[in-house]
């Protein structure tokens, strides 16, 4: 079934770079120029954070307590507490800290930050609940863009919270499937050469499905998560929806991988639903993880190909800090170009492994995306057999450009309330303020040729 392994000589590298350059230039030209003044304000906030390492560190610590905050005033109190650790605060931070000193000030700060956060949140979060998100999902679909809904509310602490998240997921499936039945036909989003593609697509996080997911006792966490994941798989199967399981930090990676492969091998789930998982290219051992997935695909027959969403990984800073704290070697690449090259390497292996896998390349990096499209074409694939994925709010111009080029694009759409959305927002903010981020480079006006250039490995292969 698979073409197997990577064959660097399968495509001519020079022809590939030429094709990739053409694709990248065409996509760049098709990106709309956004002149929304509110976006410029958010970008100022991002600039501020990118220049200040201490501010960034304070924001990281803030993210950790966000799930425990119950109100905006609570959020404001924690935020000012963390900002108080910044030794030389810039003027706006100084003002925020002073406001945090009194109850009235905290309430005012809460309200002011609520207004700012709400505005910013609308860029990244499509609605407070799935029903409120339906308008955006339908508009995207009409514009030739599929979606995957993600219910915000990361790690859970109690069984009751985990069950509430599972119930919200089940309701979201019902709501989206019912609404999607009324969407107009979009053949390019609804079928590839392996068969029909569900219109409704939900992404779930295992850490939200169990409070017991701990690296020292993975079996307990897996069992508990499986008890809540099975009914969701069942529901998705009945409704003909796609269920995608996100990947989180390294301490849960093995448990999540095993959980997905075990559940999808169960007899009940051989016939469906359409399901998928995530491969993180920033992990040094991701090629071995792909070996495990391919080996599994070779022995487990399912009615639907497994969708593999290839990402670089959203927890890079967390993995680096965690490894330093314990004196371990970082599980992630530490040179950005090495991560980017591994992403390309895995893109090729995944595309070579079709039709057992459906490949979804999730990136806002024009080089990474153009590479996937070019490799697919030069190795004989159809455009319709490659899915490109972006995050709502970060990948909007790329999303539009991909849809305009008749490429299959899916936008990951977070849904939830503001407090639950804060951790997500701050993580996106930090990701974008990294000097090595593609979007940061693009925003500072780097030349297109530079953005599309082949990454150079830190140590020659």
Ligand X SMILES: Cc1cc2nc3c(=O)[nH]c(=O)nc-3n(C[C@H](O)[C@H](O)[C@H](O)COP(=O)(O)OP(=O)(O)OC[C@H]3O[C@@H](n4cnc5c(N)ncnc54)[C@H](O)[C@@H]3O)c2cc1C
- Which residues of this protein are in contact with ligand X, per CB under 6 A? 246-247, 278, 280, 282, 309, 311-316, 332-336, 339, 362-365, 368, 389-391, 412, 431, 434, 436-438
DSSP lists the bridge partners of residue 151 as 415
Centre a 10 Å sphere on the Cβ of residue 410 and count the other Cβ atoms it contains.
24
Kindly tell me which of 253 and 349 has the beta carbon lying closer to ligand X.
253
Centre a 10 Å sphere on the Cβ of residue 40 and count the other Cβ atoms it contains.
10
CB 338 to ligand X: min, Å: 6
Kindly tell me which of 147 and 237 has the beta carbon lying closer to ligand X.
147
CB 442 to ligand X: min, Å: 9
Kindly tell me which of 113 and 399 has the beta carbon lying closer to ligand X.
399
Kindly tell me which of 141 and 282 has the beta carbon lying closer to ligand X.
282
- With b for 16 or more beta-carbon neighbours within 10 A and e for fewer, the 215-253 pattern comes to eeebeebbebbbebbeebbebbbebbbbbbbbbbbbbbb
Residue with token string 């609520």: 114
CB 77 to ligand X: min, Å: 30
Burial of 358 (0-12, 13-18, 19+ CB in 10 A): buried
Dist CA 159 CA 171 (whole Å): 18
Dist CA 183 CA 138 (whole Å): 7
Alpha helices, H only, 52-129: 53-65, 72-83, 91-99, 103-124
Dist CA 316 CA 330 (whole Å): 10
Kindly tell me which of 97 and 275 has the beta carbon lying closer to ligand X.
275
| Structure tokens that stand for 73 in this block | 């005033």
Kindly tell me which of 134 and 281 has the beta carbon lying closer to ligand X.
281
Kindly tell me which of 78 and 358 has the beta carbon lying closer to ligand X.
358
CB 437 to ligand X: min, Å: 4
CB distance 280 to 316 below 8 Å: no
């Amino acid at each position: 079934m698979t073409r197997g392994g990577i064959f660097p000589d399968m495509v001519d590298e020079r022809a590939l770079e030429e094709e990739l350059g053409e694709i990248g230039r065409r996509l760049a030209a098709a990106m709309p120029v956004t002149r929304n003044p509110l976006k410029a304000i958010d970008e100022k906030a991002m600039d501020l954070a990118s220049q200040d390492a201490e501010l960034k560190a304070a924001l990281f610590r803030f993210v950790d307590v966000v799930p425990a905050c119950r109100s905006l005033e609570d959020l404001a109190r924690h935020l000012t507490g963390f900002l108080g650790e910044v030794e030389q605060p810039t003027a706006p931070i100084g003002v925020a800290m002073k406001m945090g000193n009194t109850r009235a000030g905290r309430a005012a700060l809460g309200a002011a930050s609520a207004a700012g956060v709400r505005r910013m949140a609308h860029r990244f979060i499509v609605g407070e609940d799935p029903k409120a998100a339906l308008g955006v999902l339908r508009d995207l679909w009409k514009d030739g863009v599929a979606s995957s809904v993600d219910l915000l509310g990361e790690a859970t602490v109690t069984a009751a919270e985990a069950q509430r998240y599972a119930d919200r997921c089940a309701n979201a499936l019902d709501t989206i499937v019912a609404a999607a039945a009324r969407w107009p036909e979009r053949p390019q989003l609804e079928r590839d050469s392996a068969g029909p593609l569900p219109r409704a697509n939900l992404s779930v996080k295992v850490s939200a499905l169990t409070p017991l997911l701990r690296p020292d006792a993975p079996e307990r966490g897996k069992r508990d998560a499986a008890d809540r994941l099975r009914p969701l798989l069942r529901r998705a199967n009945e409704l003909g929806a796609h269920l995608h399981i996100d990947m989180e930090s390294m301490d849960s990676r093995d448990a999540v991988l095993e959980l997905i492969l075990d559940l999808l091998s169960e007899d009940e789930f051989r016939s469906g639903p359409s399901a998928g998982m995530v491969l993180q290219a920033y992990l040094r051992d991701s090629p071995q993880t792909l070996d495990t997935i391919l080996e599994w695909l070779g022995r487990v027959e399912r009615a639907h190909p497994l969708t593999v969403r290839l990402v670089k990984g959203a927890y890079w800073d967390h993995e680096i800090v965690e490894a330093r704290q314990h004196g371990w070697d970082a599980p992630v690449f530490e040179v950005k170009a090495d991560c980017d090259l591994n992403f390309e390497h895995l893109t090729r292996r995944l595309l070579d492994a079709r039709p057992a896998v459906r490949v979804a390349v999730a990136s806002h990096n024009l080089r990474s995306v153009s590479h996937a499209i070019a490799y697919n074409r030069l190795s004989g694939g159809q455009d319709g057999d490659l899915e490109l994925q972006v995050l709502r709010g970060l990948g909007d111009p790329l999303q539009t450009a991909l849809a305009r080029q008749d490429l299959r694009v899916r936008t990951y759409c977070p849904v939830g309330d503001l407090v639950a959305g804060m951790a997500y927002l701050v993580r996106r903010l930090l990701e974008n303020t990294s000097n090595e981020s593609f979007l940061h480079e693009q925003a500072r006006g780097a030349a297109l040729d530079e953005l599309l250039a082949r990454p150079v490995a830190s140590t020659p292969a």
